[in-house]
Amino acid sequence: MSNNYKLKLDGLVCPLPVARTKKKLNEMQSGEILEVSGDFGESGENIKRYIETHGDTVLEFKIEGEDYYLKIEKA
């Protein structure tokens, strides 16, 4: 069974959310799930773009106002 991790990035603006997401993914094993949330919508877009270009999978992506949520599967 794979593990699920959560990363709350409220109050952070780029490049910190992308860097912290990358760091956490590097600590994870293939097939594990990372849920990322924060309150600066542009950071959510940047994280999504990073994930899509580095081989992991975005399973879910939502932005509501400035709040964002991503569910990522580690490749």
| Residues marked as catalytic | 14
C-alpha distances out from residue 32 to 3, 6, 11, 12, 65, Å = 5, 11, 26, 24, 28
What's the CA gap between 7 and 56, in Å, rounded?
Answer: 16
**N-terminal to C-terminal alpha carbon distance within the chain:** 15
